[in-house]
Amino acid sequence: MEELLENLYDTLDKMTAVYKEILQAAEEKQRHIISGDIEKLESAIFRERNLAESIVLLEEKRRYVMESITRKIGWCDTLLSLQKLEEHIQDPFRSKLEMKRETILEVALKVQEVNNVNTSLTRYSLEYVNSLIKSLCSEPLDNTIYQQTGKVREGDLKRIVFETSA
């Protein structure tokens, strides 16, 4: 059982390290969203995707180890969480597991906060670009097209990019 717990601790440590790297990438992405540096933004997004793939692999390993612990304990419940596991093991393993779980949760919440800000920044940037396009373009043309059946079909031309009446 100790070997399984040590394997779990090792996996959780690796997950924490990757989550910290994801947090750094998300903060970097935020700086590039603000500065408008598209090339660096794409690089940060690519890095974030690679780190997310690493988390998926580590999560699969964590689940496998948790299933092994579940079988070792003799539980029928296959949905053993870290918090439930804490209730069934003794110190010093319990306190060590609790500390690792809280660290991962803390970093994951920070990542979520930064991603929420990034989402808002991106949304505001897109709204700004859309308003600029609207100010540069004329209103949509009424280019209704009648089909042979008599039904109306919208034309493909929605806006004129430059004012042509001047």
Domains of the chain, first to last:
2-137 (1.20.58)
Q: In angstroms, how far is the first alpha carbon of the chain from the final one?
A: 81
Query: Going along 36-150, which residue ranges are E strands?
Result: 145-146
pLDDT in tens, the chain (166 residues): 788 888 989 999 999 999 999 999 999 999 998 888 889 999 999 999 999 999 999 999 998 988 888 888 777 666 677 877 777 777 888 888 889 989 999 999 999 999 999 999 989 888 888 888 777 776 555 556 656 676 666 655 555 555 555 5
Name which of 15, 12, 54, 27 is nearest 110 in CA terms: 27
For residues 116-133, b (16+ Cβ closer than 10 Å) or e, as one string?
A: eebeeeeeeeeeeeeeee
**Cα 88–chain centre separation:** 32
Non-local (6+) Cβ contacts of 84 within 8 A are 77
- Give the pair of three-digit tokens for residue 61: 């390993």
Please state, as a whole number, how many other Cβ atoms lie within 10 Å of the Cβ of residue 100. Answer: 18
Work out the angle between the directed axes of helices 38-73 and 2-35 (0-180°, nearest 10): 160
At 35, list the tokens.
């500065």
Answer yes or no: are the C-beta atoms of 72 and 1 closer than 8 Å: yes
Residue 50 corresponds to which amino acid? N
Residue 12: per-residue pLDDT:
93
Report yes or no: 154 and 144 within 8 Å, Cβ to Cβ. yes
